[in-house]
Structure 1
Amino acid sequence: MNTVERFDPKTGVWHRVASMNYRRSALGAAVLNGRIYVCGGYDGVASLRTCEVYNPEQNR
């Protein structure tokens, strides 16, 4: 899937945010300097060798 959701622990509600460029599962993820990085994974056909970064301040 390429959809991304953010959880608000104060309200207990999930909110949809900007989607990833490529759908992926079984990925690696890390947070650095307030940004979320996802790398690798599987798109349903092949293994991915790309990374994407999400900036929550800019929702992209």
Structure 2
Amino acid sequence: MLSDYITRLAAEKSNGKTFNDRRVTAQANNIASEAAMSFRSFMNTMPAAEEGGVGVPSAN
């Protein structure tokens, strides 16, 4: 079974779209990373109402 897996993996890696697949994957990872950084930045700007309420805007 391992040899079948290795054969299939080699066939997938040698397809004509390998470079494009890697490029699209890299772009998707980059967009996800940018979204995560933006969200963290947004949450860091939110004032905390009290000690236990991290990222929750204050009521006042």
TM-score range, shorter chain: under 0.3
Task: Considering fraction of residues, name the structure with more strand.
Answer: 1
Task: Considering fraction of residues, name the structure with more helix.
Answer: 2
Report which structure shows greater RCO (CA 8 Å, sep ≥6). Answer: 1
Question: How does the TM-score come out when normalised to structure 2?
Answer: 0.20
